[in-house]
């Protein structure tokens, strides 16, 4: 997270105002790079919490100078990078409740944090704490069954455990631990804001089914943790009205509501307006898949979070390291460096690639944890090379077969009306999207997701006001600009890919068995 953004929308869900503050350029005194401090050990990564507070001061002043009419704001919500944590010092709640509107937040909250440098999602310094947590619950799959994810170094429980171990006095001085999202909500609320279920699922602490903190995880992490976290809340909760500070300093209406803040990925799901049965595939440098799931089956690969717009559903996130960079390598090796020729190869090779399957893990893959290039003919026999055309189709088909196989393992089901929403750099390539559509037997739509997390939280604010009356998120944001239809599945594709999906799952399993120590 290298900037703080704001988007305002009107009653017709049209964007009326946008602005941002860049941490590195606008707040040079904090000396961050990309908004963070990378410590000498190269694995500890933090951000100064007061930089975030000051960024909010600057952003609000910028909006004021641009003539933004704060008096028309009906509700506010927001999102923050997932997993990062903020440690409020004893007594900070009182300071939050009595903010002097004549002074900036940065000045008022100077002494409110027990830990000045907040751990953020890029941190990977807590391997030992991850092991302890997994051991405490009986293993990686057991932790996944409870919290939706195995132990990850960036996840909040492991960061809290590290702070308790290395800075125990600071931990003991802490009155409340917030996520980045609930910390930002607290500033607007003028009181501690509850952690919402969706961002709370990225902590390795919450039982995603009961939506309560897991006692075993709490105990294995740090003492008196339940008190420091307080109970989590549904993501659609109206936390209360805006703090009088903003009423007096910026002229916001007294009854402006603060709707629970959430994580950036849940925020994006809302911004993309994902619906039950939909899958969003981001084809950027790495590939990321977002799923809307009714009945999740947590697996050690991938994350299950509570759904930020529908309390009865879940969302899953699957990350792949070998995305565009691998497509680029094969474009260079098999298509003379041209996306046009890469596309021609896809158009001139048959759906299903005559049974040839390729699995290309140039770098150690995240999902699954494996490395190497594997090619199989129609009889599942290993082969050492394919012709350039077969190689290109094998790569693209393999990447999408993997996504569908992994999604279905987590409990995802294609239903009547399923849409695939494609974003990211490669989503401009219709021939790649055609393969995606064929593998999923569903139409592919493209969406512009610049700022999707931020936009998603404007929609969540609108929904927060309506949710209490029982209105669904889809109904509340029905009028928002929609996705563009890009391609429809080729007739007959389903029959071809049915057996290939089974073979892909079998072959991947076989590779994992052969390569795991």
Ligand X SMILES: Nc1ncnc2c1ncn2[C@@H]1O[C@H](COP(=O)(O)OP(=O)(O)O)[C@@H](O)[C@H]1O
Ligand Y SMILES: O=C(CO)[C@@H](O)[C@H](O)COP(=O)(O)O
Under the rule (CB under 6 A), what is the footprint of ligand X? Answer: 284-285, 324, 327-328, 339, 424-426, 428-429, 432
Query: Among residue numbers 101 through 130, which ones bind ligand Y (CB under 6 A)?
Result: 121
Residue 487 tokens, joined: 């391609």
- Count Cβ atoms within 10 A of the Cβ of residue 353 and give its class: 0-12 exposed, 13-18 middle, 19 or more buried: buried
Name which of 61 and 341 has its Cβ closer to ligand X: 341
Vertex 150, ends 145 and 154: CA angle to 5°?
140
Picked from ligand X, ligand Y, none, the partner binding residue 244 (CB below 5 to 8 A depending on kind) is none
Q: Is 243 a residue that touches ligand Y (CB under 6 A)?
A: no
Report the C-alpha gap between 194 and 422 in whole angstroms. Answer: 33
Picked from ligand Y, ligand X, none, the partner binding residue 284 (CB below 5 to 8 A depending on kind) is ligand X
DSSP string across 146-169: HHSS---TTSHHHHHHHHHHH-HH
Report the C-alpha gap between 158 and 143 in whole angstroms. Answer: 13
Picked from ligand X, ligand Y, none, the partner binding residue 109 (CB below 5 to 8 A depending on kind) is none
Tell me the closest approach of the beta carbon of residue 304 to ligand Y, in angstroms. Answer: 12
Interface segment toward ligand Y; rule CB under 6 A; list 69-77, 204-212, 223-231, 258-266: 258-266
Residue pair 406/302 in contact (Cβ under 8 Å)? The answer is yes
Tell me the closest approach of the beta carbon of residue 357 to ligand Y, in angstroms. Answer: 29
Residue 245 tokens, joined: 């500070």
Tell me the closest approach of the beta carbon of residue 157 to ligand Y, in angstroms. Answer: 14
Residue pair 178/85 in contact (Cβ under 8 Å)? The answer is yes
Q: Is 353 left (phi over 0), alpha (psi -120 to 50) or beta?
A: left
Count of H-run helices and E-run strands, the chain: 21, 23
Q: Is 182 a residue that touches ligand Y (CB under 6 A)?
A: no
Picked from ligand Y, ligand X, none, the partner binding residue 88 (CB below 5 to 8 A depending on kind) is none
Interface segment toward ligand Y; rule CB under 6 A; list 75-83, 137-145, 212-220, 466-474: 75-83
Tell me the closest approach of the beta carbon of residue 96 to ligand X, in angstroms. Answer: 36
Looking up tokens 């969540």, which residue turns up? 460
Report the C-alpha gap between 290 and 14 in whole angstroms. Answer: 25
Name which of 164 and 265 has its Cβ closer to ligand Y: 265
Tell me the closest approach of the beta carbon of residue 289 to ligand X, in angstroms. Answer: 14
Query: Among residue numbers 200 through 229, which ones bind ligand Y (CB under 6 A)?
Result: 202
Picked from ligand Y, ligand X, none, the partner binding residue 265 (CB below 5 to 8 A depending on kind) is ligand Y
Name which of 34 and 240 has its Cβ closer to ligand Y: 34
Picked from ligand X, ligand Y, none, the partner binding residue 82 (CB below 5 to 8 A depending on kind) is ligand Y
Name which of 385 and 450 has its Cβ closer to ligand X: 450
Interface segment toward ligand Y; rule CB under 6 A; list 69-77, 81-89, 404-412, 431-439: 81-89
* H helical segments located in 314-445: 324-334, 339-348, 388-409, 430-440
Q: Is 46 a residue that touches ligand Y (CB under 6 A)?
A: no
The residue from 32, 186, 265, 446 that contacts ligand Y (CB under 6 A) is 265
Beta carbons within 8 Å of 297's beta carbon, 6+ residues apart? 409, 410, 411
* H helical segments located in 66-126: 92-97, 105-108
The site for ligand Y (CB under 6 A) is made up of 1, 81-83, 121, 154, 202, 263-265
């Amino acid at each position: 997270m290298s900037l703080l953004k704001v988007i305002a929308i009107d009653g017709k869900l049209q964007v009326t105002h946008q602005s941002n503050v860049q941490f590195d350029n606008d707040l040079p005194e904090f000396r961050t790079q990309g908004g963070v401090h990378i410590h000498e050990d190269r694995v500890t990564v933090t951000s100064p919490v007061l930089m975030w507070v000051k960024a909010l001061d600057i952003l609000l002043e910028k909006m004021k100078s641009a003539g933004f009419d704060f008096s028309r704001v009906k509700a506010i919500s927001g999102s923050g990078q997932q997993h990062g944590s903020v440690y409020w010092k004893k007594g900070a709640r009182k300071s939050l409740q009595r903010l002097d509107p004549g002074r900036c937040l940065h000045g008022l909250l100077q002494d409110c944090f027990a830990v000045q440098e907040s751990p953020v999602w890029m941190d990977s310094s807590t391997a030992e704490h991850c092991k302890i947590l997994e051991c405490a619950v009986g293993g990686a799959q057991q932790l996944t069954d409870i919290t939706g994810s195995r132990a990850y170094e960036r996840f909040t429980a492991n960061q809290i455990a590290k702070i308790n171990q290395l800075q125990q006095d600071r931990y003991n001085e802490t009155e409340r631990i917030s996520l980045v999202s609930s910390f930002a909500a607290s500033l607007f609320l003028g009181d501690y804001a509850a952690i919402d279920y969706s961002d709370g699922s990225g902590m390795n602490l919450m039982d995603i089914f009961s939506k309560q903190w897991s006692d075993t995880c709490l105990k294995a992490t740090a003492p008196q943790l339940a008190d420091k976290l307080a109970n989590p809340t549904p993501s659609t909760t109206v936390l209360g009205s805006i703090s009088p500070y903003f009423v007096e300093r910026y002229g916001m209406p007294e009854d402006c509501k603060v709707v629970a803040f959430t994580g950036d990925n849940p925020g994006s799901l809302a911004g993309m307006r994902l619906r039950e049965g939909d899958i969003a595939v981001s084809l950027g440098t790495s590939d990321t898949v977002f799923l809307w799931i009714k009945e999740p089956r947590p697996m050690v690969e991938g994350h299950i979070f509570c759904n930020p717009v529908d309390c009865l559903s879940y969302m899953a996130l699957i990350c792949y390291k070998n995305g565009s960079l691998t497509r680029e390598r094969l474009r260079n090796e098999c298509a003379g460096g041209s996306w046009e020729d890469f596309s021609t190869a896809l158009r001139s090779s048959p759906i299903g690639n005559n049974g040839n399957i390729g699995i290309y893990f140039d770098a150690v893959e995240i999902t699954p944890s494996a490395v190497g290039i594997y090619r199989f003919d129609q009889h599942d026999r290993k082969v050492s090379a394919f012709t350039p055309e077969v190689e290109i189709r094998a790569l693209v088909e393999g990447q999408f077969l993997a996504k569908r196989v992994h999604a279905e393992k987590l409990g995802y089901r294609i239903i009547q009306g399923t849409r695939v929403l494609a974003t990211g750099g490669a989503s401009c390539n219709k021939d790649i999207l055609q393969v995606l559509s064929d593998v999923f037997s569903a139409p592919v739509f493209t969406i512009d997701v610049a700022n999707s997390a931020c936009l998603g939280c404007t929609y969540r604010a609108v929904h927060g006001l309506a949710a209490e009356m029982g209105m669904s998120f889809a109904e509340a944001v029905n009028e928002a600009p929609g996705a563009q239809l890009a391609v429809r599945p080729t007739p007959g594709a389903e029959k071809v890919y049915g057996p290939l999906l089974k073979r892909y799952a079998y072959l991947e399993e076989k590779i994992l068995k052969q390569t795991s120590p």
